[in-house]
Structure 1
């Protein structure tokens, strides 16, 4: 057990925190996918995109030791400290990721619909 703790001591704290955060987000989004695929198609996909944007939209934290952080933490910090510029900048980042996800999802659904039509018409035999 001591060798395990010695190994953890040799890894920087920032790397451990980012790894745990990304792994936790992956597990949460994977679990939500299992629920969302049972919902009607657009609602399940939209809720997954919103969850993805809330969890994984990056921003840069402020202060002496500024580093990358999730935008939801900046948004909550801005709400608590009543800094409107911080709230709007982080909310706009999250909304941008949601909008981008919705556009990509729409284009993918149109692509897969047309691909299915092409396969059906190509393989159908003439009467």
Structure 2
């Protein structure tokens, strides 16, 4: 046990925090995917995209030790401190990721629909 703790002491705290955060986000998104695939087709995908945007949209934190942070934390911090510029900048980043995800999702659904239509036409044989 002491060797394991010594190993953890040698790893920088920032790396551990980012790894745990990313792993937790992947687990949460995977769990939500299991729920979202049972929802109606567009609603399940939209909620998954919104969860992805809320969890994983990056921004740069403020202060002397500024580093990369999730935009939702900046948004919540801006709401608590009543800094409108911070709220709008983080909200716009999250909404940009949601919009980008919706466009990619729409294009993907169009691609799969055409692919399925092509497969049906290819498999049907003329009489």
- The answer to whether TM tops 0.5 is yes
| 1:32-54 deviation line (CA, Å, top 9, x unaligned) | 00101111111110000000000
- Identify the residue that residue 18 of structure 2 maps to in structure 1: 18
- Identify the residue that residue 8 of structure 2 maps to in structure 1: 8
- Identify the residue that residue 28 of structure 2 maps to in structure 1: 28
- Identify the residue that residue 82 of structure 1 maps to in structure 2: 82
Q: CA RMSD in A?
A: 0.4
Instruction: Give ranges in structure 1 of 5+ residues lacking alignment.
Output: none
> 1:117, 1:88 → 2: CA distance?
43
Please state how far the C-alpha of 1:88 moved relative to its aligned partner: 0.2
- Please state whether the residue corresponding to 2:63 is helix, strand or coil: coil
- Identify the residue that residue 94 of structure 1 maps to in structure 2: 94
> 1:34, 1:93 → 2: CA distance?
26
> 2:116, 2:35 → 1: CA distance?
25
Please state how far the C-alpha of 1:116 moved relative to its aligned partner: 0.7
> 1:61, 1:55 → 2: CA distance?
15
> 1:85, 1:41 → 2: CA distance?
36
> 1:35, 1:112 → 2: CA distance?
21
> 1:34, 1:73 → 2: CA distance?
26
- Identify the residue that residue 42 of structure 2 maps to in structure 1: 42
Please state how far the C-alpha of 1:26 moved relative to its aligned partner: 0.5
Please state how far the C-alpha of 1:122 moved relative to its aligned partner: 1.4
Instruction: Give ranges in structure 2 of 5+ residues lacking alignment.
Output: none
State TM-score, norm by structure 2.
Answer: 0.99
